[in-house]
Amino acid sequence: MKTKLIPIMLTAVFTVNAFADVELKRKNIKTVEDVKEYRAQVIDKMNQRLDSGELKDKRANALEKRIALLSDKPLPTQEQIDWRVENRSGKKSIIKRKGKGLRGTAKQKRRNFIS
């Protein structure tokens, strides 16, 4: 039993730490300069992936378009960043409400169709 549990625990510890680092960088954005740095990191990672040569032509073209869109995207104002920091949980609740609404309307349409 212990031999099965140890690899699972080690895997969980290392995978959680790898993903936690990325999320912490995103959560610490509080100024426009932080946004610039974060975008630069994301674009660098995308360029590394593109330069690796592992991607097929279709995926490489899509990644090039994403890089161009991200680099041309205007920076948010400090007021927008402040609002987003204050209202972090707002986006999740909106998505949940929309999802429930869509499921509800789909059920209602099925009921109407069957009746």
Q: What is the predicted pLDDT for the residue at 55?
A: 87
Contacts of 36 (CB under 8 A, 6+ apart): 75
Going residue by residue through the chain, which has 115 residues, state the pLDDT in tens, using 9 for 90 and above: 556 666 666 565 555 444 444 544 666 888 999 999 999 999 999 999 999 988 899 999 999 999 999 999 999 999 999 998 888 765 555 555 555 556 666 666 556 556 4
pLDDT of residue 87: 86
> Which tokens belong to 20?
């936690």
Closest residue by Cα to residue 66 from 38, 87, 45: 45
Q: Distance of CA 44 to CAs 66, 67, 77, 100, Å?
A: 12, 9, 23, 38
The whole-number pLDDT of residue 99 equals 58
- Is 42 within the bounds of a domain? no
On whether residue 16 sits in a domain, the answer given is no
The answer as to whether 63 is a domain residue is no
Number of domains in the chain: 1
76 CB-contact burial (10 Å; exposed 0-12 / middle 13-18 / buried 19+): middle
Contact 26, 6 (CB under 8 A): no
29 part of a folded domain: no
**pTM for the model:** 0.55
Do the domain assignments include residue 79? no
> Is 98 part of a structural domain of the chain?
yes
State which residues form the domain around 95: 87-115
